[in-house]
Structure 1
Amino acid sequence: MASLDGRKVALWGWGREGRAAYRAIRARLPSLPLTLFCSTAEAAEAAALNDANLVAESDASAARLSAFDVVVKSPGISPYKPEAVAAAEQGTRFIGGTALWFAEHAGADGVAADTICVTGTKGKSTTTALLAHLLRAGGHVTALAGNIGLPLLEALEPDIAPEFWAIELSSYQTGDVAQAGVRPEIAVVLNIFPEHLDWHGSHERYVEDKLKLVTQAQPRIAVLNANDPRLAQLGATLSASDVRWFGHRDGWHLREDDLYRGEAFVMDTRALPLPGRHNRGNLCAVLTAIEALGLDAVPLAPHAASFRPLPHRLQTIGTRDGITYVNDSISTTPHASLAALDCFASRRVAILVGGHDRGLPWEDFADAMRTHAPVAIVTMGQNGPRIHALLEPVAAQGGFVLGEAVDLDDAMAQARAALGGEGVVLLSPGAPSFGAYRDYVARGRHFAELAGFDPEMISTIPGLGIA
């Protein structure tokens, strides 16, 4: 943070991450002139701070951005935007709040001690929260922060120093760790599927950016999924890191529903509050990371039974008139929708899919519906017509009811009608909420409201912060 002093610095974005960056910089550098690039409404909010050294404007053009030495940008703003690329070519350095936090936590050996970073296309939030839960169950003061809902810069100087930091990182943030020049203690990578193509520009660059957490940040220990082909191949190239595998018979893995450590049976996982086999498989990642910290993971495994599932992630809201409502609003890829359907394979299901169109392919989803279709599929949102067109030939074979809705309210009405008073209405859109909703939380809350439940009761993420 001190290296920003005397430089021309701007903030780009005024969401929670942007506000956290402002407060952190201002706490260390109270008189540093700052320019904020944001919307007109956000500029009015910033003006209310009465900070004479803060100027807000909306013209985040290449010319304006290139006037600064450093731009601290919010994670949702892509560094591949043309104006950002042009400014970077002129010498402007773009960093994120995650990079600032890690730079402040570098040890003498260049390692951010006791940091466990978790990333992956699917399951990273639940995995990170479960990691914090088990560490706390073992009596360790643990911080749960990052992309899960608490920006790292909001915990820059905590009142209580945690023994461990359980940090979720999105693909927007993984490169920040490498950019800080700091090695995480442990990096966990769960899986890699196509995602966020609008931010990264291509699937290849998404994979490259996602894996920067291990390829460039070079953690002391990398915990990788032995069942992911790309990660299995990557593991052999990480000479700078000690690699530990989960999902392998030599370590923590599942045999059907049973949890094993090597050849030793540990517990039956069927009763755990971890919806879907993929989430129970990620328990293996958590236990492998705990062992990488030098702790005994075996006695901690049973504490997974007291884990509270996170909201908007295969979250059963309740049952009304014979229909159970499941909120998986955080689902933003077709693969996530398929995983959600697999969780309810034995039930009568009507799934709601579609949202903001980022160009992800739905052909594999359509192919899967030839043999594993639910009772009904209702499409909606910007990419709804594209998904509907792919599914029409399959539905014509009589496999399932196919509906096309104008909005979520209409989609739920069609789903209820198709189920006829018995089954599961599953919101697992496989697409972001942009356009129709502010974020996936707002979409999930609206789903709960339409189902007749209190949205305030479903949105709290348990365990955030230090405990």
Structure 2
Amino acid sequence: MNNSLTILSDFIKNKSIVLLGFGKEGQSTYRFIRSYFPQMHICIADGNEAIGEHGLLKCDDNISFELGEDFLNNIAEFDIVFKSPGISFKNYIVPLNQIISSQTELFFRLYSSQIIGVTGTKGKSTTVSLLYHILSKLGKDTLLIGNIGTPALDVTHLIKEKTILVYELSSHQLEFVSASPHISILLNLYQEHLDHYSSYHDYRFAKWNISKFQNVNDTFIYCSDDEQIAEDMKLQKINAKSLCYGFNNKSYISYYNNKLIVNGEKPKEFDIKEFKLLGEHNIYNLMAVLLACSSLGLDIEECLHASYSFNGLPHRIEFVATKKGIKFYNDSIATIPQATIKAIESIDDVDTLILGGFDRAIDYSVLVEYLTSFRPLNLLLVGKVGDSLFDALDKSNYKGKLIKLNSFNDIISKAIEYTAIGKSCLLSPAASSYDSFKNFEERGDKYKALINTI
């Protein structure tokens, strides 16, 4: 009996199980359990009633379903719930003896000693992709998994003893875990996903599970400049070796006076002009990656050199094109005010800013204050958040132009109308896309498509 089967068997033996959610991760969990236990009874619970006809399940006689809008009302009887990340437990009271697990929890049980886990409100995908890029460049056997797109249990057949598992972790994936990665990185903490959680506190402390179950042989990496992390650390018991990074001269890795300094030693050779990612926030991401690499015993300067060939990810301060003398940038990933502020500060000549989208009850006062004190911009405002920002900025006597739009399709024509030649137009919405789009990628792709019609 191999190790995976032993651990899985010990966990679910003689227990009733339900897979809660049958999207990408739920299907992955189903395939993994079925590969070891083809006869075990599994219940699938999902809000989508069409799941009952899913091709993956058609030949499975050991399946039952709880489908439709009341699917959460019928899962209390099960011993173990394998919860998918997109399912909110905001209004679900977990029975006393019920175990809430997940694909992440199961994967941690199997491979925690090989995992570098990365979480934070913003920067996760860029950080894990940069880390994966550097490790691959240096010839390491590594896999990129998790919230970035590849379900962790889909790659178990590729994992060897020395494989490094770079795992992007959302708060939803971390919410109910009882183990942590060997190397954990917490990038930052801001208000986000308040539609999913009962409070900002609950959201933050789901993130903190990335370090909660580490021991003295593990490593915890965090940003010393993040005020919320600093505040929360007063309440945390950190068992792992802690390493911090920041724009100061006190962190283990510091970017200070335009120099990259490691543990107070001679500055490392770092050519910021060769590093292709824009913005100070990406220097933070780089420092987190370098600490992870250093924890693996890798040479920092070799890692820096490898980082220069990383081109970044779509929808993250992505230069799209110059049209009619205007430079267009796509930062659709920016779904919170702090991300939008960082994007503005990363591009010197922003003249027009596109804001707004789905309202998730986030506090926008920090953005209103920032924009009011910043030089006047042309603000194209869409969606419910756009309406709220219009009212707040108007009351603040905003000196720039406030233009409310009824349709996302109108943004490029208005951008051309208002943006000065030679200047930049930036899509950095500070809001979710769910009012009009499936996700931020679809919103960014739509923006780019509109630009390319010019």
| Fold-level similarity (TM above 0.5) | yes
Who is 1:300 aligned against? Answer: 303
For residues 323-365 of structure 1, what are the alpha-carbon distances to aligned partners after superposition, in whole Å with 9 as ceiling and x for unaligned? 2222211111111111111111x21331111111110011110
Who is 1:7 aligned against? Answer: 15
Deviation at 1:235, TM superposition (A): 5.1
| Distance in 1, Cα, partners of 2:173 & 2:290 | 24
Within a 5 Å distance, the mapping from 1:116-195 to structure 2 comes to 116-158=116-158, 163-176=163-176, 178-179=177-178, 182-195=179-192
Structure 2: unaligned runs, 5 residues or longer = 1-7
Deviation at 1:304, TM superposition (A): 1.1
Within a 5 Å distance, the mapping from 1:232-247 to structure 2 comes to 232-233=230-231, 237-247=236-246
Who is 1:255 aligned against? Answer: 256
Deviation at 1:52, TM superposition (A): 2.1
Is the alpha carbon distance of 1:361 and 1:450 closer, same or farther for their aligned partners in structure 2, counting shifts above 3 Å? same
| Distance in 1, Cα, partners of 2:233 & 2:301 | 25
SS at match of 2:393: helix
Is the alpha carbon distance of 1:183 and 1:122 closer, same or farther for their aligned partners in structure 2, counting shifts above 3 Å? closer
Within a 5 Å distance, the mapping from 1:50-129 to structure 2 comes to 50-59=59-68, 60-80=70-90, 82=91, 84-85=92-93, 88-89=94-95, 91-105=97-111, 112-129=112-129
For residues 431-463 of structure 1, what are the alpha-carbon distances to aligned partners after superposition, in whole Å with 9 as ceiling and x for unaligned? 111131111111111111111179xxxxxxxxx
Q: Which amino acid aligns with 1:148?
A: I
Q: Which amino acid aligns with 1:357?
A: D
| Distance in 1, Cα, partners of 2:161 & 2:416 | 50
Who is 1:211 aligned against? Answer: 208
SS at match of 1:184: coil
Greater relative contact order structure (CA < 8 Å, 6+ sep): 1
| Distance in 2, Cα, partners of 1:155 & 1:453 | 40
Is the alpha carbon distance of 1:159 and 1:190 closer, same or farther for their aligned partners in structure 2, counting shifts above 3 Å? closer
| Distance in 2, Cα, partners of 1:416 & 1:252 | 43
| Distance in 1, Cα, partners of 2:394 & 2:33 | 54
SS at match of 2:372: coil
Is the alpha carbon distance of 1:62 and 1:133 closer, same or farther for their aligned partners in structure 2, counting shifts above 3 Å? closer
SS at match of 2:25: helix
Within a 5 Å distance, the mapping from 1:412-423 to structure 2 comes to 412-423=412-423
Who is 2:360 aligned against? Answer: 358
SS at match of 1:379: strand
Who is 2:52 aligned against? Answer: 43
CA contact 1:10–1:68 (8 Å) conserved in 2: yes
Who is 1:385 aligned against? Answer: 387
| Distance in 1, Cα, partners of 2:124 & 2:376 | 26
CA contact 1:350–1:426 (8 Å) conserved in 2: yes
Q: Which amino acid aligns with 1:42?
A: I
1:28 matches 2:16: no
Deviation at 1:67, TM superposition (A): 2.4
| Distance in 1, Cα, partners of 2:23 & 2:431 | 21
Is the alpha carbon distance of 1:201 and 1:373 closer, same or farther for their aligned partners in structure 2, counting shifts above 3 Å? farther
Is the alpha carbon distance of 1:49 and 1:313 closer, same or farther for their aligned partners in structure 2, counting shifts above 3 Å? farther
Deviation at 1:168, TM superposition (A): 0.9
Deviation at 1:242, TM superposition (A): 0.9
Structure 1: unaligned runs, 5 residues or longer = 106-111, 455-467
1:17 matches 2:28: no
Within a 5 Å distance, the mapping from 1:337-356 to structure 2 comes to 337-344=340-347, 346-356=348-358
Who is 1:281 aligned against? Answer: 284
SS at match of 2:373: coil
| Distance in 1, Cα, partners of 2:26 & 2:376 | 42
Q: Which amino acid aligns with 1:155?
A: V
Percentage of pairs with the same residue: 28
Deviation at 1:234, TM superposition (A): 5.0
CA contact 2:181–2:211 (8 Å) conserved in 1: no
Q: Which amino acid aligns with 2:43?
A: T
**Alignment TM-score, normalising by the size of structure 2:** 0.90
Is the alpha carbon distance of 1:324 and 1:41 closer, same or farther for their aligned partners in structure 2, counting shifts above 3 Å? farther
Who is 1:459 aligned against? Answer: none
Deviation at 1:306, TM superposition (A): 0.1
CA contact 2:136–2:142 (8 Å) conserved in 1: yes
Who is 2:330 aligned against? Answer: 327
SS at match of 2:166: strand
Who is 1:109 aligned against? Answer: none
Is the alpha carbon distance of 1:216 and 1:234 closer, same or farther for their aligned partners in structure 2, counting shifts above 3 Å? farther
CA contact 1:14–1:42 (8 Å) conserved in 2: yes
Between 1:278-287 and 1:419-428, the stretch displaced more is 419-428
For residues 388-418 of structure 1, what are the alpha-carbon distances to aligned partners after superposition, in whole Å with 9 as ceiling and x for unaligned? 1111134x45x21111112211233322211
Who is 2:5 aligned against? Answer: none
SS at match of 2:299: coil
The count of corresponding residues between Structure 1 and Structure 2 is 438
Between 1:196-205 and 1:48-57, the stretch displaced more is 48-57
Is the alpha carbon distance of 1:385 and 1:171 closer, same or farther for their aligned partners in structure 2, counting shifts above 3 Å? same
| Distance in 1, Cα, partners of 2:343 & 2:105 | 33
Is the alpha carbon distance of 1:194 and 1:290 closer, same or farther for their aligned partners in structure 2, counting shifts above 3 Å? same
CA contact 1:143–1:162 (8 Å) conserved in 2: no
SS at match of 1:308: coil
Deviation at 1:123, TM superposition (A): 1.0
CA contact 2:372–2:393 (8 Å) conserved in 1: no
Deviation at 1:94, TM superposition (A): 2.2
**Alignment TM-score, normalising by the size of structure 1:** 0.87
For residues 198-222 of structure 1, what are the alpha-carbon distances to aligned partners after superposition, in whole Å with 9 as ceiling and x for unaligned? 1122112111111121134557111
For residues 202-258 of structure 1, what are the alpha-carbon distances to aligned partners after superposition, in whole Å with 9 as ceiling and x for unaligned? 112111111121134557111111112333355575441111111253532212543
